[in-house]
Structure 1
Amino acid sequence: MLLVAVVPVPFACAILVFLFTLQHYGTHRIGFIFAPIVIVWLLFISLVGLYNIFYWDRQIIYAISPLYMYRFIRKNEVEGLRSLGSILLCAAGSEAMFADLGHFSKKSIKITFVCLIYPVLVICYAGQAAFISKNLHDSEDFNHLSESVPKSIRHVFIAWSLLASAVGSQATITASFSIINQCLALGCFPRVKVIHTSDKIHGQVYIPDVNWVLMALSLSVTIGFHDIVRIGNATGLAIISGMLLTTCLMSLVIALYWEKSVLVSACFLVFFGSFEIMYVSASMLNFHEGAWYLVFLLACFMTIMLAWHYGTMKKYEFDLQNKVSMDWLMDLSPGLGVSRVPGIGFIYTDIVTGIPAFFSHFITNLPAFHQVLIFVSFKSSPVPYVPPSRRYLIGRVGMKDHKIYRCIVQYGYRDPIRDTDDFEDQIIRSIGEFISLEENDSEALISPEGRMIVVAKPNQKVGGNALIPLDETYSSVGASRPENGEIQRSPLGELLESGCPLVRRKKVQFMLSPNSPKIPRSIREELQELVDARESGTAYFLGQSHLSMRNGSNYLKRFLIMAYVFLDKNCREPPLALNIPHAALVEVGTVYII
C-alpha cells in the first residue's frame, strides 16, 4: 500500500512485475537478497520510533493498554468502530508469516515475531502516535509516517520505503504458494505445476500459474483502485477474516485433536472470537469502499475449490464402486471370446487394487488384451529423492498363468521421473527381478491384500541378474526387429497403430542371464515369455473421464459439475512419468454418471 501512496501507478506496476518475475528463483535465493533490506528497514523505523517517543511524548507508551481503545470507541461510537478496520493494517504482512510454515520452520517464525517483529511494530506506531499528539494536521493527505521522520534523513526513508514496500509482499506470495500446494494435496484445487526449489525443505515451492494470477490481480487492484484507503479496507478485511477462521479451526483442534473438553474449546472460541468479530464488524462497515473486492475474490476461489473437490471425490467414488476383480476378467474371457495377443500392455491407473473401470470398459467393447499386462500407479513421497532400489514395488495380480502384474512407482518431489527415457525398460527389468525372487521370498512378501506380492530390495540394484539388456537399437513403436530384419507386430498393436505414422524410438532388447540354466524351469519360462512379449510390441492405456449428470439433478449439482468440467479441460494434464509415444497410446473414454 505504501508503494501506491508514494510512487506513480506506472512505476508501482513495474515494481510489481519485477517482484513476481523473481519468484522462480525460490525462497532461499530471494530471501538472501531481500533479508538485508527488511532488517535495515525494521531497524530504521524502530530507531525513528524511539526518537519520536523520547522527543515528543514519553507518556505515549501507556497507550498500549486496551483501556485507551475502549475509551476511544465509547467516545467516537460508530466512527470509532469504523476506524478499527484501518487499525488492522498495523499487523498487515506479519500474519502471513504463519502461513509460510512450508518455507520456514515454526521455531524461526516464533523467534522472529516475538523478538523482532512485534517489538518493532509497537515502537514504530507508538512513535507515530507521539508525533501526531504534538503535530496534529487537518489535511486529509497528511502522511504521519513520512512526516514523523526527521527532515535530514527523509530522503533516505523514501528510497528505503520503496524497497521495503516491495519486499513486504514476499511473505504473502510465498504463503500463497504453500496454501495452494496444501490444497492440491487435499484435492481442493485444480492441477497446477508445482516446482520444488529446495532439496531439503519439502514446502519450499514455486507455482508459476499461481504466480502470474497473483500478479494480474495485484496489477488490477493497483490500477483499478488507485487509492490507498480502498486497498487498505480490503486488506483489513482479509487479515481479520483469516484470523477469525483460524480461531474457529483452532477451537476444533482443541476439542477433536487435543481431546480437551468442549468447555475449554468454547472458552477459547468466545475469548478470541469476540475481539475478532468486533474487528470484522468494523471492516464490513467499509464494504462499499474497497472491501467488496475481497468478498468477490473469496466467492470466486471458493466456487473453484468446491467444484473441483466435489468432482474429484465423485470420480474417485465412481472408480472404487466400478472397479472389477481379476476373477471377473478371467470369467469374462470364455463368454465374450476374449483373446490374448502378443505384446505388453501398460495400464496407467490411480487405484492400487483391482482393475480400473476404464479398462473393463475397453475389454467389454474390444475383447482382446495383451499377453502381458502391467498396471502402473504413481505415488509421491514427501522426500527429495527415492533411491532406485526402493522406487518400484512389483506385485502379481491373479494366478501366474494370467501374466498380469502391478507396479507402484514411488518418487520424491525432486526426482526427474518425467525426464526418464528408459522408464519402460526399468519396469520390465524390475518385473524380471521380481519373478526370479518370487519363488524364495513368496511367504515374506505377500501383502495384506493376499493376492499381491510386493518386492522392496533396499540393497540391490533394480534389474539385477534376471534380465540382461542388449545393445540399444532403434525400432518402430509397438514393433520389434528380429535378426531376419522383418518387423513383427501383435494383432492388437496393428489395430491400435492403424492410421498413425511410425515413430522411431530407442529400444532396449533383453535376454536371459547366462545363469538361467540354474533357475527353475517355471521361472525361466516366465522370464522368456516376458522377453518375447517385449519383442512383440508395447501399448499404453490411459483413461479419459467424462462427467455427466443424472436426469433430475438439482441446480447446485449441475453448476458444480459444469464448473468442474470447465476447470478440468483448462488445467494441466495429470502428471505421468513417461513420455508416451502417440503411435502406441490408447485413450479409453468413460462416462461417469454423477
Structure 2
Amino acid sequence: MESSSGQQPGAPAGHVAEASHGSMPKLALAAIGIVFGDIGTSPLYTMSTVFDSGHGLVLDRFNVLGVVSLIIWSLIIVVTLKYVTLIMRAHNHGEGGIMALLALASSSVMDRPRLRNGLLLAGVFGAALFYGDGVITPAISVLSAVEGLEVAEPQLKPFVVSIALVVLIALFLVQRRGTAGIGAVFGPVMVLWFGVIAVSGLLCIGRAPAILDAFNPFVGLEFLMRNGWRAFVSLGAVVLALTGAEALYADMGHFGAPPIRLSWFGLVLPALALNYLGQGALLLSDPKTVDNPFFHLFPSVALFPMVVLATVATVIASQAVISGAFSMTKQAMQLGFMPRMGIVYTSEREVGQIYVPAINWLLLIAVVGAVLGFGSSTALGSAYGIAVTGTMMITTFLTFYVVRYAWHYNWLLCVLATGFFFVIDLAFFSANLLKFVDGGWFPLLLGAIMFTVMSTWHRGRALMIEEASIHAGALPLGKYLDSLFAKETIRVPGTAAFLTIDPSTVPHALVNNLAHNHVLHERVLFVHVTNLDVPYVPREQRVAITPLGHDCHSILVTYGFKDVASLPQALRDCEPKGLVVDPAKVSYFLSHATVVATGGKGMPVWRERLFSVMAHNIGNPAAYFKLNSNRVIELGSRVEI
C-alpha cells in the first residue's frame, strides 16, 4: 500500500515562504513569534541553574564574568555560525528540521546501503530525542515563569506547581482548536517580551559596567581552564541558553531563511545578550539575587505583570515545540517511521497547522509527570540538556554527509567545518551526561522509547512488505489478470480501488474479494502509494497511470513527507491524464493484515510483538488517506514476520 523511495524529483514550486506569506517584515514578525519562543525564554532559568548550589560553582566576579562570556559566545558560535550560517543552507527543497535533514543526508548516500542505514538510525534517534525536548520544554518554561510569584510574594510558593499544571493542561486542551487565531498575536507578544528583557538588562548593566568584559572570548576560556572540572560541569547548564536553536532550522520551511536571520540579528540576539549581561551585572552587585536573577531585574511593582508576560511567552514557546512534535510525527509517518495516526488539519489555509490527538495526549501525560516529579525549574534543568545537545550533535553529524556527498565539498574542508561544531556539541553533551542520575535519565528514557517505537515500526513494515511480496510472488498482477479474464468473470457496475503494497503483485484484498463475492467491478484501480525523501511532490507529478487492459489501471501515487495524503484528491488528479474517476462513487478495498510474531526471522520476538500491537491498535488507513468510511471494505489477511 505504501513505501518510501530515495528518488528526488525536481524542486517543487509554490512552497517558498517568501512567495506565499508576504513581505519580509511580516515574515520576520511571524518568525519572532513562532521560531524564537524557546530560546527567548531561556533567560528565565539559565543563570539560576548555572549557579545552583548543587553544581559547586562559587558565585564571585571571575565566575560570573566567565559564565556570561560562555553564554554570549555560545550564542554566537552555535546559533549564529552553526545554525544561521551553515545548517540553514542544508535544506531539503526549502524544508528544515532533523527529519528533512535525515531524508537529505540518506538520499545523498543511496549508493552506500550500510552507511545509509547508519544515518537512518542516527537521524531517528535524534528525532526521538526531540520528543523528550517536547516534554521538558513546556514543563521547565511554564514552571520557571510561574516561579516568579515566589519572588513577588514568597507565600505563594506552595501554589506554584498547581498553577503551572493548570496552565499546561489548558494549553494541551486547546490544541484541537488549532493555533490560527492565537497565532496572530504571537509575534507582537514576543516582540514586547524581547524589548522588555533587553531594556531590563541594559538598565542593570549600569550597576556593574565591568560585566561588559564578558564580550572578550578569552574571559570564557580562562574560566574553563582555571575551574577545570567544575567549569566542565557548568557547561551542562550553560547549554540551556541554546535551547530552541533547532527551531531556527526546523521552522525554515514556514518562513524561509532570510526572515529568520533578520529576526535573529535584528532583535533576538541583541535582546538575549543584553539580558544575560544585565543578570550578570546584577549578580556582581547583589549576589543574594542568585535564587532568581531574572525576576530580580525588575522592581517589585513590575513583578506581577512580568510573571504574566513571562507565562504568556513560555506558553508561546511551548506551543512552538508542541506544534513541532505534531509536524515531525507527520513527517515520520510519511517516511515510514511511525504508524499512520489520525491527523486533524486545523486551518483551511495553512497546511502546516495540524493536530495529532495521540501525540497530544501522550505529551500531556509526560509533561504532567515531569512537573510533579521534578517540582522546580532548577531540578528540570538537570533533565533538559541531554535531549537538546543530543539532537544538536546528531544534526551536525548528518550535516557532514550533506556537505560532503550532496554538495561535494572537499573532504578536509567538510571535516574542519563540521568537526569544529561537533567538538563543541560533544562537550555540551558530555557535560550533560554527568546529570544522568539527577534527571538526565528522563529525556534519554523518553528518547529510547520513541527510538524503539520508530525503528521497530520501520523494520516491521519492511518485513511485512517483504513477506507479503513473497506470498504474492507466484501471482504477478499482469499474468493473474490475463488468467482471470481468460475465464468467464462476473463484473458488476462501479469502480473498485484496491490499495497495494507492491504494484507488480496481486493485492490480498482482490483475491479475498473474488473468493468470497465471486464478482469483479467493471472498473478496477490498483493504487500504490509511495513517499519520496522530499517535502513536496508537485501536483502534476503526483499521479502516474498504467493501463492493464479490461478497464483495469495501475495508479502510482507519490507524496513528499510534508504532503497531505488524500486518495480521493489523487483520483481527481487522474482526470488530466485521461482517466475520469468520481472518488465519491469508488469502493475502496483495504487488506487488514493480521501480523503474527513468529521469531527467528527479522526481529527479536519482543519487537515483533510490539510491531504486531502497533499494527493492530494504532492508526486508521481509511482516515489517514481521507477515505469516506461508508465506501471502505476491509478484507483480512495473515502475515507472519
Q: Corresponding residue for 2:628?
A: 579
* Of 172, 194, 204, the match for 1:52: 204
Check the 8 A contact 1:326/1:355 in 2, yes or no. yes
Q: Corresponding residue for 2:231?
A: 80
* Of 591, 609, 615, the match for 1:543: 591
Cα distance 1:262–1:216, how it changes in 2: closer, same or farther (>3 A)? same
* TM-superposed deviation, 1:62: 2.3
Identity level (%): 24
Q: Which has the higher helix share?
A: 2
Taking the aligned partners of 1:67 and 1:40, their CA distance within structure 2 comes to: 33
Taking the aligned partners of 2:481 and 2:315, their CA distance within structure 1 comes to: 64
- Code of the residue aligned with 2:250 in structure 1: it is A
Cα distance 1:298–1:285, how it changes in 2: closer, same or farther (>3 A)? same
* TM-superposed deviation, 1:56: 1.3
* TM-superposed deviation, 1:153: 2.8
2:621 aligned counterpart, secondary structure: coil
* TM-superposed deviation, 1:574: 0.5
1:362 aligns with 2:512: yes
Q: Corresponding residue for 1:353?
A: 503
* TM-superposed deviation, 1:199: 5.1
Deviations 1:323-375 (A, max 9, x none): 5334432564599x774354556242135733434146437956944262512
Cα distance 1:580–1:120, how it changes in 2: closer, same or farther (>3 A)? closer
Check the 8 A contact 1:342/1:370 in 2, yes or no. yes
Cα distance 1:112–1:21, how it changes in 2: closer, same or farther (>3 A)? farther
* TM-superposed deviation, 1:80: 1.8
Cα distance 1:276–1:159, how it changes in 2: closer, same or farther (>3 A)? same
Q: Corresponding residue for 2:605?
A: 558
Which one has more relative contact order, counting CA pairs under 8 Å at least 6 apart?
A: 2
2:409 aligned counterpart, secondary structure: coil
1:130 aligns with 2:281: yes
Taking the aligned partners of 2:317 and 2:509, their CA distance within structure 1 comes to: 52
Taking the aligned partners of 1:251 and 1:19, their CA distance within structure 2 comes to: 38
2:490 aligned counterpart, secondary structure: strand
Taking the aligned partners of 2:616 and 2:175, their CA distance within structure 1 comes to: 27
Taking the aligned partners of 2:169 and 2:575, their CA distance within structure 1 comes to: 48
Which aligned pairs between 1:150-165 and structure 2 lie closer than 5 A?
A: 150-165=299-314
* Of 126, 142, 147, the match for 1:5: 147
Q: Corresponding residue for 1:149?
A: 298
Taking the aligned partners of 2:347 and 2:208, their CA distance within structure 1 comes to: 48
Deviations 1:556-577 (A, max 9, x none): 4323321111111221210355
Cα distance 1:44–1:188, how it changes in 2: closer, same or farther (>3 A)? same
Which sits farther off after the overlay, 246-255 or 306-315? 306-315
TM-score by length of 2: 0.66
Q: Corresponding residue for 2:615?
A: 568
Which aligned pairs between 1:18-57 and structure 2 lie closer than 5 A?
A: 18-53=170-205, 55-57=206-208
1:132 aligned counterpart, secondary structure: helix
* TM-superposed deviation, 1:182: 1.5
- Code of the residue aligned with 2:608 in structure 1: it is I
Deviations 1:154-187 (A, max 9, x none): 3432332222222222221222122212211211
Taking the aligned partners of 2:293 and 2:190, their CA distance within structure 1 comes to: 21
Taking the aligned partners of 2:224 and 2:588, their CA distance within structure 1 comes to: 69
Which aligned pairs between 1:310-321 and structure 2 lie closer than 5 A?
A: 310-321=459-470
Which aligned pairs between 1:267-416 and structure 2 lie closer than 5 A?
A: 267-321=416-470, 322=472, 324-330=475-481, 332-333=483-484, 339-340=489-490, 342-344=492-494, 346-351=496-501, 353-359=503-509, 361-362=511-512, 368-370=518-520, 372-377=522-527, 395-398=546-549, 402-406=550-554
* TM-superposed deviation, 1:546: 2.6
Check the 8 A contact 2:594/2:639 in 1, yes or no. yes
Taking the aligned partners of 1:204 and 1:245, their CA distance within structure 2 comes to: 27
Which sits farther off after the overlay, 223-232 or 347-356? 347-356
Cα distance 1:376–1:165, how it changes in 2: closer, same or farther (>3 A)? same
Cα distance 1:94–1:19, how it changes in 2: closer, same or farther (>3 A)? farther
TM-score by length of 1: 0.71
Q: Corresponding residue for 2:408?
A: 259
Taking the aligned partners of 2:378 and 2:221, their CA distance within structure 1 comes to: 24
Taking the aligned partners of 2:461 and 2:227, their CA distance within structure 1 comes to: 51
2:368 aligned counterpart, secondary structure: helix
Deviations 1:22-60 (A, max 9, x none): 33343443321333222211111100110011x212231
Q: Corresponding residue for 2:62?
A: none
Taking the aligned partners of 2:557 and 2:485, their CA distance within structure 1 comes to: 33
Which sits farther off after the overlay, 219-228 or 201-210? 201-210
* TM-superposed deviation, 1:406: 4.2
Check the 8 A contact 1:45/1:120 in 2, yes or no. yes
Check the 8 A contact 2:498/2:509 in 1, yes or no. no
- Code of the residue aligned with 2:552 in structure 1: it is I
1:234 aligns with 2:380: no
Gaps of at least 5 residues in structure 2 are 1-139, 150-159
Q: How many residues align?
A: 480
Q: Which has the higher strand share?
A: 1
Cα distance 1:290–1:415, how it changes in 2: closer, same or farther (>3 A)? closer
* TM-superposed deviation, 1:207: 2.1
Q: Corresponding residue for 1:222?
A: 371
* TM-superposed deviation, 1:198: 4.5
Taking the aligned partners of 1:455 and 1:261, their CA distance within structure 2 comes to: 45
Structure with bigger gyration radius: 1
- Code of the residue aligned with 1:46 in structure 2: it is A
* TM-superposed deviation, 1:378: 6.8
1:543 aligned counterpart, secondary structure: strand
* Of 358, 382, 389, the match for 1:209: 358
* TM-superposed deviation, 1:270: 2.0
Cα distance 1:238–1:383, how it changes in 2: closer, same or farther (>3 A)? closer
Cα distance 1:551–1:463, how it changes in 2: closer, same or farther (>3 A)? closer
Taking the aligned partners of 1:79 and 1:125, their CA distance within structure 2 comes to: 21
Taking the aligned partners of 2:508 and 2:225, their CA distance within structure 1 comes to: 67
Check the 8 A contact 1:102/1:204 in 2, yes or no. no
* TM-superposed deviation, 1:63: 0.7
Check the 8 A contact 1:4/1:228 in 2, yes or no. no
Taking the aligned partners of 1:260 and 1:391, their CA distance within structure 2 comes to: 33
* TM-superposed deviation, 1:254: 0.6
Taking the aligned partners of 1:305 and 1:580, their CA distance within structure 2 comes to: 28
Taking the aligned partners of 2:454 and 2:366, their CA distance within structure 1 comes to: 18
